[in-house]
Structure formats: structure tokens, C-alpha cells
Amino acid sequence: MANILEQFEGLPGLKLNETLKPFTTFNVGGPAKYFLETNDISLIQQSIKFATAADIPWAPLGGGSNVIISDSGYQGLIIKLSSVKCEVNSNLITADAGTNLARVVRSAIGKNLTGLEFAVGIPGTFGGALAGNAGTSGKGIAELAREIQYISSDGELHIATPESLDVSYRYTRFKYSTTEIIIGGTLYLNTSEPQQIQSLVKEALHKRSWQPKGVWCAGCIFKNPANNFAGKLIQEVGLKGKKIGGAKVSENHGNFIVNTGSATAEDIIILISLIKQQVRDKFGIQLEEEVRYLGFENN
Ligand code: EPU
């Protein structure tokens, strides 16, 4: 055991007690006990194999745009992929998990491929977007996947087929997984006319135009409940602008919580509980988070 731990702690580039806050768009979160940021897939395989053998929990972190990290941090290994390859080959676009989603979207559009325009303006990495099936109310990126490459807890590389992804609204089997990490994926897209693509891009940007910009936030906090909109429900209970500590419900869009500067994860979680309680009391609807929690019990 000591031997494995020594091997693990001796891995090149492994950092101790790295503060995670700067790696999130909420700018919230304590330190990771272990932190590895690398583009070396074999190093990731090794780190996962050793961590699993040493009973150290591990979790991937993409662009940090859809996650709430505990103020006490993560008592395990956080893996951040920094490989950023992105290639278009006829109707297929293949990218590393660490690639910015925006770059993947731009590359597709640049080759007159259609189907990803809805993702214009979504922050984060390609891997994170695939894992959480990022998108709009009606469309998600994982639905376009031809295959996803991942590493399992024994350090082995695998390929997941579309049928095995368990895709649903803002969800795939990878979203909360603590035993698998996406390292890349391939999407299949159709070809189209540049003009048609540009009008879909415009439409996507217009839909996001009233979302808060240039602030610390994690996008939408809640999934839309069936036949309804979380933002609208939050507006109707009168919680827009509500502040707890440094966390505030956006005045623009009710489904966004903004870190006004000094928010802690605890402030955000108290605000989330308040929203859930008030929406439940008034409408009998139980809102569910679309953001992922990291560093809390069972996460
Ligand atoms: N609405 C309000 N008040 C608000 C917010 C929304 O009344 O404060 C109403 C709007 O007027 C509209 C409806 O609710 O009638 C839906 O609002 P919007 O068009 O902004 O879309 P959304 O359902 O709130 C979804 C995705 C967003 C995505 C947008 C645009 C979810 C949870 N959210 O938002 O995704 O950007 O469509 O495509 O599915 C995210 O996942 O992080 C995210 C921001």
C-alpha cells in the first residue's frame, strides 16, 4: 500500500493542495488534495490506476463551468486534461476532452458542418460538454456523438458507443461518474450552406443574449422541469436579485446565480435550498440541479 502511495505521489507534475477556485467559472472552491493537469494520456492512465489502488477518490475537471466545488475542497485527485487537438475529417469532428468547446464549434462551422450551432456561447471544455450533454432545453451535444474515448478506474482506454452513453437532458453516464473519465470524442455532423449555418448561429446567440455576461457564475443552476422553465419559476417566486452572502440570483435570468465577489460554496448552496423550497411551496415543483457538486458527501 505504502509502495503504491509512494508511486502515486511520485508521478511527474502531481501537485498537492492546489486551490480549485481559479479553475471554475464560479470562482468558488477549496483545494484539491492532489491535482494533475497534463496532456499526457499515459500519465493520466497511471495516475488513475495508482489512485484507485491506493483508495484515493478521483474526479475529472473540465472548464469548471458547471460545477460547485466545496469550500473544503476535494479530498482526492482532480484530473485536468490539457490536450487540445481538434480535427475535422469529412462529416466527423474529433477533439480531445481538454479542447475548448468554442473551438470545436468554430472548427465545425468553418468546415460548413451543421448541428452544433446551438452550442455557440456555451463555456467549458469539449469533455465536460459531452459528459453533461451541454446544450439548450431541446438539444444536447452528446446526441451527436459517434464515439467517446474514456479511461476506466483500472487505467485502461475504452471506446463508448452512442447506445452506451445513456443520454438524456443534461445527462450522460459520465456526468457523475467517479470511475470513468472522458479523454476525447467524435461527433457526426451534416453539411450545410454557410448562410443557413450563420442564421442558426445568430439564433443561438440571440437566445443567450439576456443571460448574465462577464460575471462569475456556472450557467443555469437547475434543469428545466417538464413543460416549464426554472428561470421563470424563480422569477415568479420573487427571488431574482435575492442575495445570501456573496451569492445572488441574477437580475437578468432567474436560473443563474452570480458570485458577486466573495461568495462561498456555502452561500450558493443556501441560496439553492431557498429557491428549491420556495418553488416547491408555491408550485409543488421540485427543481433539480443541472450543476455538478464536487467535494461534498458522496461526490
Ligand atoms: N424566463 C423568465 N424569467 C427568467 C428566465 C426565463 O420568465 O428569469 C422565461 C423566458 O421568458 C422564456 C423561458 O423562461 O419564456 C425560457 O427562458 P430562456 O429562453 O432563457 O431559456 P432557458 O430554458 O431558461 C435554456 C437552457 C440554457 C440555454 C438557453 C438558450 C436549461 C436549464 N437552460 O434556458 O442553458 O442557454 O435555453 O438556449 O436547459 C445552461 O445549461 O447552463 C444554460 C444556460
pLDDT in tens, 164-220: 999 999 999 999 999 999 999 999 999 999 999 999 999 999 999 999 999 999 999
Stated pTM of the model: 0.96
Give yes or no for residue 280 having a pLDDT over 70.
Answer: yes
pLDDT category at 254 given cuts 50, 70, 90 is: very high
Please give the mean pLDDT across all residues of the chain. 97
Residue 95 C-alpha from the chain's centroid? 16
Which pLDDT score, from 0 to 100, does residue 138 have?
Answer: 85
Closest ligand 1 atom, residue 222 Cα = 32
Q: What percent of the chain has pLDDT over 90?
A: 98
Per-residue pLDDT at 141 exceeds 60: yes
Q: Among candidates 3, 77, 2, 1, which has minimal Cα distance to 45?
A: 77
Q: How many other CB atoms are there within 10 angstroms of residue 238's CB atom?
A: 12
Mean pLDDT of 25-48: 98
Distance CA 217, CA 203 (A): 23
Cα 56 to Cα 5: distance, rounded to the nearest angstrom:
9
Q: Which three cell numbers stand for residue 62?
A: 473540465
Grid coordinates in use for 139? 438539444
Residue nearest to atom 41 of ligand 1 (CA): 220
Closest-CA residue to 292 (of 175, 192, 196, 159): 175
The predicted pLDDT at position 1 comes to 55
CA of 149 to the centre of ligand 1 (A): 31
Instruction: Look up residue 20 and give its amino acid.
Output: L
Check whether 2 has a pLDDT greater than 70.
no
The residue contributing the CA closest to ligand 1 atom 18 is 207
Provide the H-helix boundaries in 240-286: 265-283
Beta strands in the chain, from DSSP E residues, in sequence order: 15-19, 31-38, 58-60, 67-69, 74-81, 86-89, 92-96, 113-114, 145-152, 157-160, 180-188, 190-191, 216-220, 243-244, 247-249, 256-259, 292-294
**pLDDT value of position 137:** 81
Gap from CA of 153 to ligand 1 centroid (Å)? 36
Q: Which of 68, 122, 229 to mutate to test the pocket of ligand 1 (most atoms within 8 A of CB)?
A: 229
55-94 pLDDT, tens per residue?
999 999 999 999 999 999 999 999 999 999 999 999 999 9
pLDDT in tens, 284-296: 999 999 999 999 9
Q: For 217-237, what is the mean pLDDT?
A: 98
Closest by Cα among 114, 170, 166, 160 to 139: 170
- The x, y and z cell numbers of residue 154, run together, are 483500472
